[in-house]
Amino acid sequence: MARSSLVALAACCVLAGFARDMASAQPTQRVVPPSRAAVQWSYAPIVQKVAPAVVNVYASRTEKLARNPLFDDPFFQQFFGRDFAGQARERVQKSLGSGVIVDPSGLIVTNQHVIEGMTQVKIALSDKREFEADILLRDPRSDLAVLRLKGTTERFPVLPFGDSDNLQVGDLVLALGDPFGVGQTVTQGIVSALARTRIDASDYQFFIQTDASINPGNSGGALVDLEGRLEGINTAIYSRSGGSVGIGFAIPVNMVKVVVESAKSGAKSVRRPWLGAKLQSVTPEIAESLGLARPTGALVASLTEGGPAAEGGIKRGDVILSIDGHPVEDPDGFGFRFATHSLGQSASVMVRRGSADVTLPIKLRTAPETPPREASKIEGANPLSGVTLENLSPAVAEELSLEPSSGVVIADVDEGSTAGRAGFQKGDILVEVNGTKITAPRDAQRALADKARLWKVVISRNGQILATVFQG
């Protein structure tokens, strides 16, 4: 039996049928079809309203393939000439997805995985016109990216933002996107579940689940409600075959708003609040000891001295039950809620301490960059060639989803580099090189500058110390 897997995708648009008769109803009012005739109503008015704001995203990059060293060998050149095999060959990598126009100036949101590693992006509108696009912001942590159409002053149709906190299980939704590259497609379904975690599609595990049919190519498309408002960006499906089986996941629009606002401000990255605490799930035993009716909330396992949590009065052993009135089911749920808050304000966090509930104010500020990053690219004939090293400040640890610590971290690994082939990964903490303790990137540069026949490199990965010897 094929193993189940997550498949990146996307979809769009929400439901339409009852728009005419529900125009005067309250936004939170839900109704079922009043008659058999009502079931036959059409979603066409909603589709016509939202489809112009849904686009296709074509991303690509050109790679030069490595030239065979035999082509430069004098022995071969004397028979075949110096121009043997011509210029280095090139290969074009392509990616296909969907996107949503969220600002009349031509601002588009899509999935980061649609454009990951790509350098050229082309947008096809619903009316078949095509535009080049600039990549304004990439946010791998949320799997979102923001693009802007180039060379136009036209005002484009947009999808207005909804409020994903107002969604309820059972609400009707439409999904729009470009599945399998066949062209814009609309599917209909319901919200199957909310606050889905453990999906592993991004750092922020808090997804809208829908049974609207979405497939590869839908990534970055829109999930919309009955009013034609954007409620989510479809990003993944659960599937045994790679096609839709009725379990799709969308990034809630309340996270999309944060990323789009960052792009509008001119930022190249998203700055988010820092808690300064390690959280873990609540077990049935912990719930029973605290008098909780069921295992819910996020247990504070440790605190960073001087962090917002510690300063706000949170203590180790507290269980976070809600933030600004929103219940917290698990650490992922808290992480999403916390990350969608604006900096410079404060959040009200309720914790269970012993048998009492305590409400505490937490200041919303970013993690400090102390010590400074001091990014350093490693090159040369050594096993770490191709990595970028940075000091592991709280800010860097937050960005890389690492435990607060000190030392030097591998912040990036070039694709196809010596370090990549050797198995080094982004997030590895460099501990030692040939007996030299590494406390700053310059320590690694000095240690790796020496020529050696053998290299002993010690790293920390997921809390485990790994030592490897490489031959020079």
* Residues identified as active-site: 113, 143, 219
317 close to 308: Cβ distance less than 8 angstroms: no
Distance (Å, rounded) from C-alpha 446 to C-alpha 380?
A: 12
How far the first Cα of the chain sits from its last, in Å, is 44
134: tokens are 């600039």
User: Biggest alpha carbon distance in the chain?
Assistant: 87
Q: Which of 113, 178, 144 has its CA nearest to residue 252? A: 144
Angle between helices 331-339 and 253-264 (to 10 degrees): 40
How far is the C-alpha of 78 from the C-alpha of 151, rounded, in Å? Answer: 51
Distance, C-alpha 131 to centroid of its chain: 25
The 10 Å CB-count burial string (b at 16+, else e) for 239-266 is: beeeebeebbbbbbbbbbbbbbebbeee
Q: Is 207 within 8 Å of 214 (Cβ atoms)? A: no
Structure tokens at 179: 């599945």
Both structure tokens of 336: 């999403």
Residue 28, C-beta contacts closer than 8 angstroms, at least 6 positions apart: 166
d(CA 107, CA 101): 6
* Phi, psi (deg, nearest 5) at residue 179: -65, 130
